[in-house]
């Protein structure tokens, strides 16, 4: 029997790539196991976005070394695979396959070569491809959410970012193929879809039939779909019709993740973000002028080369103007192949640490106020975890806020419950169920049982 074990790190794109890789392997006659010692093939889906990602990968590979044995094979895939390429064979000779995400559509052929005994198989030369990795065999491993990648790669080349080098050039799927996938997800019983792309709103329908906003509306109108999320939007391509689509389509969630990276126009220029502070704030104003209460979240990098105290102050004032519901703050870290690696990493580590702490403290105050507004409101929550250690059920509101609540019954994952908010914290809300849970369909429960074995780390 052919068996495999997969470990996944990184963003949601990577988690979803793994779902497609798992589906492909199963289609090729492999069985997934949860114990790496039992697996014939061990796959490691890697991320290289920040810090010393490649060192961590080699460290983990070193641990794999102990598992070497008769017929056991190792594959390194994803962003570090693409970035380090055949260096992986030099440092970890027991690895037989190294492949970046642009080559996954060739996986069946690579697996055949692996089974034939080849030990130096690469999928590294496809970054200029126009093709996307579409498969009907996706393993839907998330118990309540179906992912759809509508655009792969990235052509933005922000000066700090590895993604254009690891995931290749931007390419979109036809809206017809996206909608067919949305239908399949609905038929499996999922009511929530997350639309994915590195720059999801840079989507360009190759058939020319739909804009990104029109595609969102069409997904939101698929029978059975209650919630549609999309990530990550780039401010440069964020158009007003996206806000209008949210206003007009009940299934589109009240949430936009719009990473600003910095509040300083000078730093934005050095980052090659192709917008200014004012341009960004104009887009924020569109979302604030919407009829719906759209929650905003962001990614922010502190300590980019040359960032002055004044620039950092601009980021703090921007936080206050926008009033985000969450931010993901990062210290700048130089990445291989990126233009910024040639700039002097001029901000001392202590200063980066200090700026990140100030950023997070300021953001916490903002969230305390924002989350405080929900006290005594009733929010519809989709259940994500059956019960935590305190016996609370955990789920999310349309705004993507975590809600922990008590309920007389134990609602299944994927149920919807109306919850009255009784307590507020800067990162979560607490409440009690005031409606009988609307249970997920039998189809979703069957799908959840099928995927109970799948592991995703990260
Ligand atoms: N250093 C720090 N943060 C980074 N990000 C991307 N590249 C880097 C880097 N070199 C952050 C950005 C991006 C998020 C996914 O990771 O904020 O939006
Ligand atoms: Fe990590 Fe970026 Fe690759 Fe996602 S695309 S896995 S965040 S390096």
Q: Which ligand is nearest to the CA of 11?
A: 2
Q: Is the CB of 256 under 6 A from ligand 1?
A: no
* CA 297–ligand 2 middle distance (angstroms): 19
Q: Is the CB of 330 under 6 A from ligand 1?
A: yes
* CA 300–ligand 1 middle distance (angstroms): 8
Q: Is the CB of 160 under 6 A from ligand 1?
A: yes
Closest approach atom of ligand 1 to CA 261: 17
Q: What pLDDT does residue 129 have?
A: 85
* CA 314–ligand 1 middle distance (angstroms): 19
Q: What pLDDT does residue 456 have?
A: 45
Instruction: Say whether 233 sits in a helix, a strand or coil.
Output: coil
Neighbouring-strand partners of residue 376 = none
Best residue among 48, 154, 161, 349 to mutate for probing ligand 1's pocket (most ligand atoms within 8 Å of CB) is 161
Please list the alpha-helical segments (H only) found in 149-264.
163-167, 175-187, 212-220, 240-248
Return the residue whose CA atom lies nearest to atom 17 of ligand 1: 299
Neighbouring-strand partners of residue 301 = 330
Best residue among 8, 9, 14, 52 to mutate for probing ligand 2's pocket (most ligand atoms within 8 Å of CB) is 14
Q: Is the CB of 53 under 6 A from ligand 2?
A: no
* CA 428–ligand 1 middle distance (angstroms): 25
φ/ψ (deg, to 5) at 295 = -80, 140
Return the residue whose CA atom lies nearest to atom 13 of ligand 1: 299
Q: What pLDDT does residue 452 have?
A: 61
* CA 8–ligand 1 middle distance (angstroms): 19
Q: Is the CB of 445 under 6 A from ligand 2?
A: no
CB 32 within 8 A of CB 25: yes
For the chain, 458 residues long, give each residue's pLDDT as a single digit of tens.
899 999 999 999 999 999 999 999 999 999 999 899 999 999 999 999 988 888 899 999 999 888 888 789 999 999 999 999 999 999 999 999 999 999 999 999 999 999 999 999 999 988 888 888 888 889 998 999 999 999 999 999 999 999 999 999 999 999 999 999 999 999 999 999 999 999 999 999 999 999 999 999 999 999 999 999 999 999 999 999 999 999 999 999 999 999 999 999 999 999 999 999 999 999 999 999 999 999 999 999 999 999 999 999 999 999 999 999 999 999 999 999 999 999 998 899 999 999 999 999 999 999 999 999 999 999 999 999 987 777 899 999 999 999 999 999 999 999 999 999 999 999 999 999 999 889 999 999 998 887 765 544 43
Q: Is the CB of 100 under 6 A from ligand 2?
A: no
Q: Is the CB of 102 under 6 A from ligand 2?
A: no
* CA 44–ligand 1 middle distance (angstroms): 22
Determine if the peptide bond prior to 45 is cis (ω within 30°).
no
Closest approach atom of ligand 2 to CA 162: 8
Return the residue whose CA atom lies nearest to atom 7 of ligand 2: 11
φ/ψ (deg, to 5) at 371 = -70, -30
CA 299 to CA 287: how far, in whole Å?
17
Q: Is the CB of 47 under 6 A from ligand 2?
A: yes
Q: What pLDDT does residue 450 have?
A: 79
Q: What pLDDT does residue 134 have?
A: 83
Return the residue whose CA atom lies nearest to atom 12 of ligand 1: 299
Return the residue whose CA atom lies nearest to atom 6 of ligand 1: 161
* CA 132–ligand 2 middle distance (angstroms): 17
Closest approach atom of ligand 2 to CA 46: 6
Whose CA is closest to 100, among 82, 126, 87? 82
Category of 29 on φ-ψ map: left (φ > 0), alpha (ψ -120 to 50) or beta: left
**What are the CA-CA distances from residue 361 to residues 68, 117, 351, 354 (Å)?**
46, 54, 15, 11
Quote the pTM value. 0.94
CB 314 within 8 A of CB 264: yes
Give the single-character DSSP code of 104. G
* CA 376–ligand 2 middle distance (angstroms): 39
Q: Which ligand is nearest to the CA of 56?
A: 2
Q: What pLDDT does residue 252 have?
A: 98
Q: What pLDDT does residue 453 have?
A: 54
CA 135 to CA 181: how far, in whole Å?
9
* CA 57–ligand 2 middle distance (angstroms): 14
Q: Is the CB of 312 under 6 A from ligand 1?
A: no
Whose CA is closest to 342, among 270, 392, 263? 270
Strands 393-396 and 378-385: antiparallel
Best residue among 160, 201, 261, 355 to mutate for probing ligand 1's pocket (most ligand atoms within 8 Å of CB) is 160
């Amino acid at each position: 029997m052919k068996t495999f074990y997969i470990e996944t790190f990184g963003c949601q794109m990577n988690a979803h790539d793994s779902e497609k890789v798992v589906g492909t392997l199963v289609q090729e006659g492999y069985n997934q196991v949860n114990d790496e010692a039992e697996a014939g093939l061990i796959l490691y889906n890697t991320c290289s976005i920040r810090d010393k990602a490649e060192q961590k990968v080699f460290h983990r590979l070193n641990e794999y070394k102990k598992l070497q044995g008769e017929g056991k094979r190792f594959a390194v895939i994803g962003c570090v695979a693409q970035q380090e390429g055949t260096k992986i064979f030099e440092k970890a000779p027991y690895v037989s396959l190294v492949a970046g995400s642009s080559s996954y559509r060739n996986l069946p052929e690579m697996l055949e070569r692996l089974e034939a005994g080849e030990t130096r198989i690469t999928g590294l030369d496809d970054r200029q491809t126009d093709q996307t990795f579409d498969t009907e065999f996706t393993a839907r491993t998330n118990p309540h959410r179906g992912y759809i990648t509508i655009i792969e790669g990235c052509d933005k080349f922000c000066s700090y970012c590895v993604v254009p080098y690891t995931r290749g050039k931007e390419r979109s799927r036809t809206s017809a193929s996206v909608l067919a996938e949305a239908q399949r997800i609905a038929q499996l019983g999922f009511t929530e879809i997350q639309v994915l792309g590195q720059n999801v709103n840079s989507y360009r329908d190759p058939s020319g039939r739909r804009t990104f906003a029109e595609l969102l509306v069409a997904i939101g109108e698929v029978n059975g779909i209650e919630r549609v999320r999309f990530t990550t939007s780039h401010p440069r391509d964020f158009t007003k019709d996206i806000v209008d689509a949210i206003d007009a389509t009940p299934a589109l969630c009240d949430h936009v993740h719009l990473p600003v990276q910095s509040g300083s126009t000078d730093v934005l220029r050095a980052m090659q973000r192709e917008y200014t502070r004012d341009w960004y704030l104009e887009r924020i104003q569109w979302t604030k002028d919407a009829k719906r209460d759209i929650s905003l979240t962001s990614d922010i990098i502190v300590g980019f080369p040359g960032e002055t105290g004044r620039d950092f102050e601009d980021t703090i004032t921007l936080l206050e103007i926008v009033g985000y519901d969450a931010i993901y703050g990062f210290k700048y870290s130089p990445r291989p192949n990126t233009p910024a690696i040639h700039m002097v990493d001029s901000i001392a580590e202590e200063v980066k640490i200090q700026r990140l702490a100030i950023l997070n403290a300021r953001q916490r105050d903002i969230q305390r106020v924002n989350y405080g507004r929900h006290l005594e409101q009733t929010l519809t929550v989709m259940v994500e975890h059956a019960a935590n250690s305190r016996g609370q059920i955990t789920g999310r509101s349309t705004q993507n806020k975590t809600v922990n609540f008590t309920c007389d019954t134990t609602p299944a994952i994927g149920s919807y419950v109306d919850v009255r908010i009784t307590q507020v914290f800067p990162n979560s809300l607490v409440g009690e169920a005031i409606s009988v849970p609307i249970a997920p369909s039998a189809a979703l429960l069957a799908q959840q049982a099928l995927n109970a074995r799948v592991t995703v780390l990260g």
